[in-house]
Amino acid sequence: MSDGEVETVPLAHKAEAALVRAALAIFRALPPATASRLGGGVAKAIGPLIPVSKVADRNLQMAMPELDAAARKKIVAQVWENLGSTVAELAQIGQLHETMSGPGYHVTGWDEHVAPALAKGGPSLILTGHIGNWEIIPPAAYARGLDLGFMYRAASNSLVNDIILKLREANFGRKVYMFPKGSTGARQAYAHMARGQSLGLLMDQKLDNGIAVPFFGRPAMTGPALASFALKFKCPVFPVRALREGPARLHVIYEAPMTLPDSGDKERDVLTMTTDMNNILERWIRETPGAWLWLHRRWPKKAS
């Protein structure tokens, strides 16, 4: 776009943004658990009827062929219910605090795995995916003193993307370091880590210019950024997921830092670590398949 040229926003994008604002206003007006139930219920009722659910069913057939049609249908409904609850909770995620009961979240693994590593100083990495409510991971980290930035994939609708970014900052009550995927975002994320800060990456989406790494036994184009950053800074990588225990009730689980390969061959080490990363994600998904966002086109269309 040239200087002085005004961007024309498609009418459909404006309508979508208006719908998102209205939904968020409703969710913000409700108690967190009520909003979560409402968002999950609506999504569970409507989502399976949307064509993208066929992508989820196909993914399940490829990744978990032992499941029959009824089992896959049940998982797809759970996917939509979790997604609807996650969106509803995002509307007021600033109200979800660490607590042993009721709306909010509780944390396990921090004292054993994270605190000792962070005490040594320097940057760190968070490995996670679109499992449960991934949106709670940054505020849960902030609450424990971890200044966590995140790489993200921008929404195709720029208006909706702007709504989401502003909503995160408003709810968290602070500047949120968000780096868009791509070369510019990668440079910003690198500089963030070079300053000794921590970075989270959602590593379960297809990246066309990534590397082919096994995922559920099939080659999947996977971003090498996490492995490249980890090997460059020789920093701890904490696998983290946020499982849903109920409406607006979440469990943030930190696992032991990943082992960093050191063969002397950088390309080989990146492949090894990225493979280990996919193995962790696969383990999580197999444990709670309905918590993962199967709606992504994770494998090539021609995969069979």
Q: What is the pLDDT along the chain (304 residues), one digit of tens a residue?
A: 444 544 677 888 889 889 889 999 999 999 999 999 999 999 999 999 999 999 999 999 999 999 999 999 999 999 999 999 999 999 988 899 999 999 999 999 999 999 999 999 999 999 999 999 999 999 999 999 898 898 888 778 888 888 888 887 777 777 778 888 888 888 999 999 999 999 999 999 888 889 999 999 999 999 999 999 999 999 999 999 999 999 999 999 999 999 999 999 999 999 999 999 999 999 999 999 999 999 999 998 765 4
246 vs 36: CA distance, rounded Å: 9
- Whether 9 and 16 have beta carbons less than 8 Å apart is answered as no
What string of DSSP letters covers 186-202? HHHHHHHHHTT-EEEEE
Determine the Cα angle at 72 with ends 69 and 78, to 5°: 145
Question: At 207, is the secondary structure helix, strand, or coil?
Answer: coil
Tell me the one-letter amino acid at 132: G
Q: The whole model's pTM is what? A: 0.92
Query: Where are the alpha helices (H) located in the chain, listed in sequence order?
Result: 11-29, 32-46, 53-63, 69-90, 115-118, 137-143, 158-172, 183-194, 225-233, 266-287
